[in-house]
Structure 1
Amino acid sequence: MNSSRFAGFLLVLPALTVIGVMFIYPLSYSFVDAFIVPAKDGGAAQFSLQNFATALSLYGDDILFTIVIVGISACLIALGSILIGGYLTLGENRFFVRVLAALYRWPLFIPFIVAAQCMRTFLAKNGLMNGVLVEAGILTPLQTIGFLDWRGIIITFVWKQLPFVTLLVAGAMAALDRSTIDAGRDVGAGRLRILFQIIVPQIMPTLIVALVLSIVIMMSVLSVPVMISGHSPTMITVEMAFRVNSYNDYGTANALGVISYCITGAIAWVYLRRGVKQGGKPV
């Protein structure tokens, strides 16, 4: 028994080593460094909350901006995934169902930096979107506007993360007992009513898991806010990079990182608490 346990430990040791070196150590170091302020005149470093005070005073608006952007994006992703998954489950036109099933996954395989560059070209005032609208006669060149601001960040996040959430949601919907859907149809319920009153409550745990993962990803992305919007306020990741590259201020950057950990941790805590209330089974 002991030899089998030792063999199992050796089997997972490479993965544990990679996690420890690449994730646990940097996370622990940045967390500790956020509370350390180098002493002046070559003295010893001191424990202090000065880095957090600097982060909140200089970048309070950026922290709020990040929460709002990620929150709006998550809501739109949730709605879009429910509608797409619902049509894949309840749609009666098999041709459109197959076309939608083939198309919605494409952004899933595109890196964020590529998605940001594509959207920068697509959403610009003289970009592809406005060019198509002008050629179609819907807008004139003077009526066109660019979306390279907070709206562009939201559009990029939703476009990039929607396939991931939809894949999980559609899979959960496909695994449901069809008898509940058929029962709703038998009593005359429409597709929207079946979707939101019968299907969505049953796949809510899967939807929440997918949204939590998407929120964590959006909180950590740097390329999208840098390439899409050069305005202020901006997202936390941009300010973290700015503090390091411009001022070599790792303390404030790490403090912003800890704040982002707290935001994502609060979201995960809400999810886990909901799972505990439902019997200790979050998923």
Structure 2
Amino acid sequence: MARPSFFGLLLIAPALAMIGALFLYPLGFSLAAAFTEPGGGLSLMHFQKAYELYSTDILFTLFIVVVSTLLTGLFSIAISGILTLGETPWLVAALRALYRWPLFIPFIVAAQCMRTFLAKNGLMNNTFVALGVMEPIQATSFLDWRGIIITFVWKQVPFVTLMLAGAMASIDRATIEAGRTLGASRVRVLIELVLPQVAQTLLVGLVLSFVTMLSVLSVPMMVAGSQPTMLTVDMAFRINSYGDYATANALGVISYAIAGTVAWIYLRHSVKREVQA
């Protein structure tokens, strides 16, 4: 039995080495640097500096990511519900053909597209003016916190919808038909019968989206580019402008803590669900 184990370890050794070199070592180094003062002793001075300089940006980051996650969940539920329960063939076909497109667009490309789309003289406002919905003088730029949220939601909805629609498609149709037969509307069937059965899949998609949006640099930098901004931009600024890796690492640890809190909530919910089952 030792020989197969040895060859198995040999096969996965390159992957383990890559994980160690490109993830575990940088993670350990950043954690150590965040808690180490210039003299070499343990200290929280870098966290104090990060809080003094970027406390507003920490709250702004939480606001952006939480609101974007909630909106992503709402839109994903709506689209998945239409794909699963929809009775309008052309609408279902159109959504099925269109909703996946943002999956294949990188965040940096999405950010550049939104700069053109959401600008004061961008495609969105020009379309509204051409349709007579508003006057040119009423056009305003959405290249601020609203633009960040719009970009995040537009980019992440297809990811969550793909997972959620797949989970809904695997549900026994007899349950849905029974609800419809008893007179329940499609909205009520979706909320009371379908969603409870796919809640775990929805939660997984939202947690992954939360962590992804928390780590994106290109969108807040290119779409908004003003204060307050997100922690990823602050970390890049501390390194590129001041070479201040210690404060940047402290901000990174704060991001780890935010992501870890969300992961802990998800794991606690999953364990509680398994115990109840």
- Scaled by the length of structure 2, the TM-score of the pair is 0.98
Q: Residue type matched to 2:229 in 1?
A: T
Q: Residue type matched to 1:8 in 2?
A: G
RMSD: 1.3
Q: Distance in 1 between matches of 2:151 and 2:3?
A: 51
Residue number among 168, 172, 179 corresponding to 2:167 in the alignment: 172
Which runs of no fewer than 5 residues in structure 2 stay unpaired?
none
Is the partner of 2:177 in helix, strand or coil?
A: helix
Q: Residue type matched to 2:95 in 1?
A: L
How far off is 1:22 after superposition? Answer: 1.1
Which runs of no fewer than 5 residues in structure 1 stay unpaired?
40-44
Change (3 A) 1:172 1:139: same
Q: Distance in 2 between matches of 1:94 and 1:16?
A: 49
Q: Distance in 2 between matches of 1:262 and 1:151?
A: 25
| Residue 139 of structure 1 pairs with residue 128 of structure 2 | no
| Residue 32 of structure 1 pairs with residue 45 of structure 2 | no
How far off is 1:244 after superposition? Answer: 0.7
Residues 184-231 of structure 1, C-alpha deviation per residue, up to 9 Å, x if partnerless?
111100000000111111101001111111111101100000001122
Query: Equivalent residue for 2:52?
Result: 57
Identify which range, 5-14 or 241-250, moves more after superposition.
5-14
| Residue 150 of structure 1 pairs with residue 145 of structure 2 | yes
Query: Equivalent residue for 1:42?
Result: none
Residues 71-105 of structure 1, C-alpha deviation per residue, up to 9 Å, x if partnerless?
00000000000000000000112232122111000
Query: Equivalent residue for 2:106?
Result: 111
Query: Equivalent residue for 2:195?
Result: 200
Is the partner of 1:170 in helix, strand or coil?
A: helix
Q: Distance in 1 between matches of 2:170 and 2:19?
A: 33
Residue number among 209, 217, 220 corresponding to 2:212 in the alignment: 217
Q: Distance in 2 between matches of 1:10 and 1:102?
A: 44
Q: Distance in 1 between matches of 2:14 and 2:179?
A: 51
- Paired residues in the alignment total 277
Q: Distance in 2 between matches of 1:12 and 1:57?
A: 44
Residues 29-72 of structure 1, C-alpha deviation per residue, up to 9 Å, x if partnerless?
11111011213xxxxx2211000000111100100000010000
Residues 126-183 of structure 1, C-alpha deviation per residue, up to 9 Å, x if partnerless?
0000011111111111011110000000000000111001000000000111111111
Query: Equivalent residue for 2:267?
Result: 272
Q: Distance in 2 between matches of 1:11 and 1:87?
A: 45
Q: Distance in 2 between matches of 1:211 and 1:15?
A: 28
Query: Equivalent residue for 2:6?
Result: 6
Q: Distance in 1 between matches of 2:90 and 2:150?
A: 27
Query: Equivalent residue for 1:160?
Result: 155
Change (3 A) 1:140 1:94: same
How far off is 1:246 after superposition? Answer: 1.1
Query: Equivalent residue for 2:81?
Result: 86
Q: Residue type matched to 1:140 in 2?
A: E
Q: Distance in 2 between matches of 1:179 and 1:14?
A: 49
Query: Equivalent residue for 1:102?
Result: 97
Q: Where do 4+ consecutive residues of structure 1 move more than 3 Å?
A: none
Is the partner of 1:118 in helix, strand or coil?
A: helix
Residues 210-260 of structure 1, C-alpha deviation per residue, up to 9 Å, x if partnerless?
111111110110000000112211100010011111111100000000000
